């Protein structure tokens, strides 16, 4: 499988792309929140976790699952604070 970020290299790592990993909240390990990435992208770009990176991931995941499904998944999360990506 190719990296979902650069589409150039093989994806060898998993990344919690919208909401960071939380061992106390397994619902964040859902495929809607997991991106397959190469090591280079994971270290260089994605690890910054900035707003633009998350918005880009939102678009990638909407292409994969559809925007309505992504909004339904995100709305169903039991988080105290939620960012809006759309």
Q: Which residues contact 58 (CB under 8 A, 6 or more apart)?
A: 18, 70, 85, 86
Is residue 1 packed enough to be buried (19+ CB in 10 Å), middle (13-18) or exposed (0-12)? exposed
- Give 3-56 pLDDT, tens digit per residue: 999 999 999 999 999 988 888 888 999 999 999 999 999 888 766 668 888 899
pLDDT of the residue at 73: 95
Q: Which residues contact 32 (CB under 8 A, 6 or more apart)?
A: 18, 61, 65, 69, 70, 73, 74
Helix (H, G, I), strand (E, B) or coil at 36: strand
Beta bridge partner(s), residue 14: 36
70, 53 Cβ separation under 8 angstroms: no
Residue with the bigger pLDDT between 80 and 60: it is 60
pLDDT of the residue at 46: 63
The pTM (predicted TM-score) of the whole model is 0.85
């Amino acid at each position: 499988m190719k990296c979902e970020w650069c589409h150039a290299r093989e994806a060898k790592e998993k990344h919690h792309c919208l909401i960071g990993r939380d061992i106390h909240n397994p619902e964040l390990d859902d495929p809607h929140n997991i991106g397959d990435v190469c090591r280079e992208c994971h270290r260089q770009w994605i690890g910054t976790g900035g707003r633009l990176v998350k918005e880009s991931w939102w678009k990638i995941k909407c292409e994969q699952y559809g925007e309505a499904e992504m909004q339904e998944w995100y709305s169903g999360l039991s988080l105290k604070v939620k960012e809006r990506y759309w």
